Structure formats: C-alpha cells, structure tokens
Amino acid sequence: MLVKSKNCTVCSCVGEPVRQLWVDGCWHDTYKGDEQHPPYCEHLDDGIPRPPTAKVSVTAKLAMPRFYDTGDDDIDDEDHVQHLANEAWCYMNFPAHFSEHWTGYNLVPPIKDPVPVGAVVPQFYGYYRPEKEEKGKFMSPILLLEHCGLQANMEDLTLEERRECWSLLERLHLGGFVHNSVYERNILIQNGPIHYSPFKRSDLHPRFRLIDFGRCEEVDESGRNAFLERRGADRKLNLDMMFA
C-alpha cells in the first residue's frame, strides 16, 4: 500500500497531540502523524477512505477455460469466466455489513438462541481483467479475496456451530441474495476471534464464512427462491428447524 508523507506540505501539520511520552527525563508530545498514516488535515484528504490496517491472508480465484477437460461434464459445460464475473458483481453489490467484522451475538430467526454476528462473506479486494488478450491464449480474470480458512465438515461441528453456519445463509437472504450453491465446500471455517492477532486465535472460537457466489442471484419478488434454498440448507445441516 502506498502512503503519503506524514507532514502536510501546505501547513506542515502533523496532527493533534494524542498523548505524552517520557523520554530522556522529560515529557514529549506524541502526534497522530508520528504514529499513523495520513490524512489528518483537509489538505491531505483526497476523498479516499483509509480504514485501520490489519494483516490478512488473500486468495486469488481464477477461471478455467471452457476447453479445459476436468473429467466432469457438468463442470466442463459451464462458463467459468461468466461465473467469476457474476461473483465479482455480487461482491460489489452486497450490503457493506456482509463483510464487516462485528463482535457479539444476535437473534436470527427461526434460530431461538443467539448466534455470533461476524462477517458473512470474505473481504473483497477487487476484480482484475487483462487489458489485452492474445489470440489463442486464455488469460483468466482474477478475483482477489480474503482467505478465510478451510472447508467446514458438518459432521465435526456442534449443533450451535451448524446453526451459526445456517444463520449466515439466512443473513444472505435478508440482504437480498440467494446463494444457489449451498454445499459444505462453500462454507469455510477458521480460528477466531477474527479481531485477535493470527498468533492468538484458537479453534475454541471458530468463525465461518460463505464463499463461491458464481451462481448467486437476487431474491425474487415472491421470495420463493430464498425459501427453497433455506429448506434445502436446513436439511443438509440436519437442523430440522423449519419442520419442527
């Protein structure tokens, strides 16, 4: 990430004093500009938001060419580039709270007990297409996302953890989207809490995320597509909440 100079070239400000440090037998003011990156004044503000930084692992998702033989006829007939483009469109149109790291619990009906409220989907870092395509040479677009762990195995999860996975799908529907590909391979698990350093996270606090939105679409006016997906996911996760 490129950052600007800490001092404003117009007014030479370094930000307001934030605390004092005891150095060499006396107190010294510490300014925002000494500890963080700009902008801190109107001259440095270029309108680009700069959130607090954090270390994350990223993954690059690519598309396979249509002539690539996977051995699976269903997969070979799909347009993977279109799926990747559709997934990028979804990430760009998801509500902001889908990727925000909240802490705490909330009620997500019909689950009767509170479930952890974290991000629903990975952080989205952009969709990149080649400027030029050479004739006869396939060049895949790149979807850059936050790496969110490994595939969750539902048989290894507790009832509360399976309910948390189900709540992610419910929140996706409440946000106006249906996944259309709800399988174990599209639910990831990683150690948490997420706001801890990666070195302090533990499998005692698992966190989950939905991935793979190549077939994702908006909820229809009747809500039927969301209902059918909810019912199927409920059975796959062995929750039986909708049929109790």
pLDDT tens-digit profile, the chain (244 residues): 333 334 555 655 554 444 555 555 666 555 544 444 444 456 656 666 655 555 678 999 999 886 655 555 544 445 889 999 999 999 999 999 999 877 788 888 888 889 988 899 999 999 999 888 778 788 899 999 999 999 999 889 998 899 999 999 999 999 999 999 999 999 999 998 877 777 788 888 899 999 999 999 999 999 999 999 998 888 877 776 655 4
Whole-number Å distance between alpha carbons of 142 and 90: 15
Q: Which pLDDT score, from 0 to 100, does residue 135 have?
A: 80
- Cα dist from 198 to 2, 17, 36, 66, 146, whole Å: 24, 31, 22, 38, 14
By C-alpha distance, which of 120, 113, 218, 236 is closest to 170?
120
Q: Which pLDDT score, from 0 to 100, does residue 121 have?
A: 96
The tokens describing 11, both together, are 């007014």
Kindly give the interhelix angle for 224-236 and 159-174, rounded to the nearest 10 degrees. Answer: 170
Q: Which pLDDT score, from 0 to 100, does residue 133 have?
A: 77
Whole-number Å distance between alpha carbons of 131 and 73: 31
